[in-house]
Amino acid sequence: MWAAALLRFIRKRIVLGIIFLFSLTYCIVSFMKEGSSTTSYEIDTLPVRPLDRSFLWHSPKDDLNATDMKVSACRNSVQGKVLIVDDRGYVCSRGNVLPNGCCNIDAENTKRYSCETCKESGCCSIYEYCISCCLHPDKKQVLENVLGKASETLNVLFASVTDHFELCLAKCRTSSQSVQHENTYRDPKAKHCYGEIPIAGS
């Protein structure tokens, strides 16, 4: 009984028209929505990392008392051909890396906060020395300046950095700032910079 009534209701031209119009508008609306929803998000809108308290600046005191208790493990620069630098700022040869990843401080050539091969400008020819130099507590001001002025793409990078060591690892790598004409270094002799990269007139 009610079914027949419903059927009759549906068969009415006006009802069909309404259904059709409704679907049409829904269709158009959903098309519009799809068009606009896929544009930029994610990384494009990542905020610049605020250097608040959550950012861990390295200080030599951290491990002054730690040396007594023995540091359990270090992160280090992994990649080096000959040298390795650990997160305390020690540079040593690959052979002097302890099983826990730290440099052996007792080894002859191990140096801390070494700025060998680095220039006044904050650029070094060897990556590991750049990091070691960068980890020096004095360089905090320089790094804060760098972070303040970093370009958009570099901000993406620095946004995922959590502490001083990681910042130095990332900052000392060659980047878009290190090249001119795309395929040549601005300064092939000092391409790893912890400070601002000078606009070189090489």
Partner 1 sequence: MKLKVRLRQRHFRCIGLPFLLLLLTRFKYAETCSNESFPTQFVKVKFTTQVVKNEYIVAFNAYYKSQAREKFIAAALNGLDDRHWKIIARNNPASDYPSDFDVVTLEEAENSQDGLDALRLHPAIRRVTPQRMVHRSLHFENETDFLGDADNSTNTESFERWQSSRPMKRLSLAVNKQFWQSTGRHTSRRLLRAIPRQVTAILQADALWHMGITGAGVKVAVFDTGLAKTHPHFKRIKERTNWTSEKTLDDGLGHGTFVAGVIASHRECLGLAPDAELHVFRVFTNNQVSYTSWFLDAFNYAILKRIGVLNLSIGGPDFMDHPFVDKVWELTANKVIMVSAIGNDGPLYGTLNNPADQMDVIGVGGINFEDQIAKFSSRGMTTWELPQGYGRVKPDIVTYGAAVRGSAIMGGCRTLSGTSVASPVVAGAVALLASGVLHRGNILNPASMKQALLASARRLPGVNMFEQGHGKLDLLRAYQVLNSYQPQASLSPSYIDLSECQYMWPYCSQPLYYGALPTIVNVTILNGLGVSGKVVNKPAWHPYTPQFGHNIDVAFTHSEVLWPWSGWLAVSIAVTRAASNWEGMAQGHVELTIESPPEDGETEPRRSTVRLAIKAKIIPTPPRHKRILWDQYHNLRYPPGYFPRDNLRMKSDPLDWNGDHIHTNFKDMYQHLRNGGYYIEVLGSPLSCLDASQYGTLLIVDPEEEYFPEEVAKLKRDVDAGLSLVVFADWYNVSVMRKVKFYDENTRQWWMPDTGGANVPALNDLLSPWGIALSDSVHEGSFNLGEHEMYYASGSSLLKFPESGVVVSRSLKDQGLEILDSDADSVSKTVPILGLLQSRPNEVEGDDATTEKIFSSPSGRVVVYGDSNCLDNSHLQKDCFWMLDALLEFTSTGHMPSIFKDNSAKVTFPSSDEPLPQRMEGNHLYRYSKVIENHMGTMRTRELPACPHLVWAKPQPLNTSAPSNLYKAQKLLSVGVEGDLPLWRVAPGAAQVDVDRDFGGGLGVDMMDSLAEEEGIALLDLAPALLVISLAAAAVLLACRCYRSRTRPRRKRVTRLRRLMAVLNAGRAPTV
What number of chain residues touch partner 1 (CB under 8 A)? 49
Angle between helices 164-172 and 152-159 (to 10 degrees): 140
Residue choice 3, 31, 36, 68 for contact with partner 1 (CB under 8 A): 31
Q: Using the rule CB under 8 A, is 138 a contact of partner 1?
A: no
Pick out residues in 161-200 that bind partner 1 (CB under 8 A). Answer: 161, 166, 169-170, 173-176, 178-179, 181-185, 188
Please state, in angstroms and rounded to a whole number, the distance separating the CA atoms of residues 161 and 6.
Answer: 64
Q: Using the rule CB under 8 A, is 153 a contact of partner 1?
A: yes
Q: Using the rule CB under 8 A, is 41 a contact of partner 1?
A: yes
Binding mask 98-137 for partner 1 (x = CB under 8 A): -x--------------------------------------
Q: Which helix (H) or strand (E) holds 121?
A: none
145-153 CB contacts, 8 Å cutoff, 24+ apart? 145/196, 146/171, 146/194, 146/195, 146/196, 147/48, 147/49, 147/51, 149/196, 150/48, 151/176, 151/177
Q: Using the rule CB under 8 A, is 80 a contact of partner 1?
A: yes
Residue choice 44, 68, 108, 138 for contact with partner 1 (CB under 8 A): 44
Nearest distance from C-beta of residue 105 to partner 1, angstroms: 17
Nearest distance from C-beta of residue 160 to partner 1, angstroms: 6
Q: What are phi and psi of 46, to 5 degrees?
A: -60, 135
Residue choice 3, 69, 78, 199 for contact with partner 1 (CB under 8 A): 78
- Rg, C-alpha atoms of the chain: 29
Please state, in angstroms and rounded to a whole number, the distance separating the CA atoms of residues 18 and 25.
Answer: 11
Q: Which residues, other chains included, contact 107 with Cβ-Cβ below 8 Å and sequence gap of 6+?
A: 92, 93, 96
Tokens of 1: 């009984």
Nearest distance from C-beta of residue 65 to partner 1, angstroms: 26
Q: Using the rule CB under 8 A, is 9 a contact of partner 1?
A: no
Range list of β-strands (E), 25-71: none
Residues making contact with partner 1 (CB under 8 A): 10-11, 13, 16, 19-20, 23-24, 26-27, 30-31, 38-44, 78-82, 94-95, 97, 99, 153-154, 156-157, 160-161, 166, 169-170, 173-176, 178-179, 181-185, 188
